[in-house]
Amino acid sequence: MVKITYIEFNGTEHIVDVETGMTVMEGARDNNIPGIEGDCGGACACSTCHVYVTQGMSDCSEADEDEEDRVEEAPGLQINSRLCCQAVVEGDGPIVVHVPSWNRNAVKEVPH
Ligand code: FES
């Protein structure tokens, strides 16, 4: 198990344990972390699962060429940008992941 801290765009932190070998997106889904869309279902075809890995990048699998090409389409690209459906948890952690605000699809938001 690896500790992953998911930080929402509004600063809310979720600290969870994720199994080694799972993707950062699977860890988010299993723990109901809001804000990660993943429109293509993890097929490296949409870039809506874009996150920033601010700690523990070396504890994630390296981005392959497909991911690198796709993540370039994500708004707000940074050196620590990853598509979380492609980032497999490999090391001991801890890993810290920031979810950008623009991943949220306003159309799908349920009004409060
Ligand atoms: Fe579409 Fe990750 S879910 S690229």
pLDDT digits 0-9 by tens, 49-91? 999 999 999 999 999 999 999 999 999 999 999 999 999 999 9
State whether the beta carbon of 85 lies less than 6 angstroms from ligand 1.
Answer: yes
Kindly give the distance from the C-alpha atom of residue 4 to the centroid of ligand 1, in angstroms, as a whole number.
19
> Is a pLDDT exceeding 50 seen at residue 14?
yes
pTM of the model: 0.89
Ligand 1 atom nearest to CA at 47: 4
Rounded distance between C-alpha atoms, residue 35 and residue 8, angstroms: 7
For residue 9, how far is the Cα from the chain centroid?
Answer: 12
State whether the beta carbon of 37 lies less than 6 angstroms from ligand 1.
Answer: no
At 112 the pLDDT is 60
> Is a pLDDT exceeding 80 seen at residue 105?
no
Structure tokens at 5: 């801290």
Rounded distance between C-alpha atoms, residue 110 and residue 3, angstroms: 30
State whether the beta carbon of 57 lies less than 6 angstroms from ligand 1.
Answer: no
Q: CB of 38 within 8 A of CB of 85?
A: yes
- CA distances to 27, 70, 72 from 92, rounded to whole Å, are 15, 27, 28
pLDDT tens-place string over residues 19-41: 999 999 999 999 999 999 899 99
Helix (H, G, I), strand (E, B) or coil at 74: coil
Atom 4 in ligand 1: which residue has the minimum CA distance? 44
